[in-house]
Structure 1
């Protein structure tokens, strides 16, 4: 399997970040309609399995991009 290019990594990070933000916004919107307290909304977001999985993947992608940038500088 071929390593992704820097542009592919950046695009993946960008799209995944947009999806994460949209998902968080949906959770907040629905929670607000249900008149849930902000503390509970934050708890739901922090324990949301899909959001947590996306955060882990984003972290790995950012790390991979940083490593790519570092290797280009060296």
Structure 2
């Protein structure tokens, strides 16, 4: 199931990728929160949308994999 590449990333590359992906995840989450506020949706509904957001779920999965590689 684990993908193998010809060149394994070094620690600094993994850390940089984790930082950039985390920043993207935070921006996306904030965008969803802002949109929910503009639409005056209940906070619980916005939080549910964030929890069910497929792109945010995928980003979290990738971050877990990258952190596992880093460890």
TM-score by length of 2: 0.92
Aligned-residue Cα RMSD (Å) equals: 0.4
User: 5+ residue gaps in structure 1?
Assistant: 67-74
- Structure 2 partner of 1:65: 70
> Does 2:11 correspond to 1:9?
no
CA deviations over 1:19-59 (Å, ceiling 9, x no partner): 00000000000000000111001100000000000000000
Report how many aligned residue pairs link the two structures. 66
Task: Report SS of the residue matched to 1:62.
Answer: helix
> Does 2:11 correspond to 1:29?
no
Q: Residues 46-61 of structure 1 correspond to what in structure 2 (within 5 A)?
A: 46-61=51-66
2:43 and 2:64 map into 1 onto residues whose CA distance is: 26
- Structure 2 partner of 1:71: none
Indicate the structure with greater helix content. 1
User: 5+ residue gaps in structure 2?
Assistant: 1-5
TM-score by length of 1: 0.88
Q: Whose Rg is larger? A: 1
**Divergent runs of 4+, >2 A:** none
